Amino acid sequence: MADIANKYVESVPGKFYVDNQCIDCDLCRETAPANFMRQDDGGYSYVFKQPTTPEEEALCREAMEGCPVEAIGNNGEG
């Protein structure tokens, strides 16, 4: 399970975030490209935009549930 204490600093404030367990598998970026982006130098994903519609929220949840290492959390500060 993702740990907010280990979230990447690039993740914008809000409910969803990515922590340092990310293995750069690309699943979240494929599932919710409007919300997740790759940090090229570090080789990991982060939340660059919090969901603003029910559709984006659903895709972020889908990405979180599909993350193979549980690096996506949804208990961030909004």
> Is 57 in contact with 15 (CB distance < 8 Å)?
no
Q: Is residue 78 part of a domain?
A: no
- Residue 42 belongs to domain spanning: 4-73
Q: Looking at residue 63, which CATH number applies to its domain? A: 3.30.70.20
Q: Is residue 42 part of a domain?
A: yes
**pLDDT (mean) for 14-31:** 97
> Is 22 in contact with 5 (CB distance < 8 Å)?
no
Q: Is residue 61 part of a domain?
A: yes
Q: Is residue 68 part of a domain?
A: yes
pLDDT band at 78 (very low <50, low <70, confident <90, very high): low
pLDDT of residue 76: 81
Q: Is residue 45 part of a domain?
A: yes
Q: Is residue 38 part of a domain?
A: yes
> Is 26 in contact with 43 (CB distance < 8 Å)?
no
Q: What domain count does the chain have?
A: 1
**pLDDT (mean) for 34-47:** 97
Q: Torsions phi, psi of 55, nearest 5?
A: -65, -45
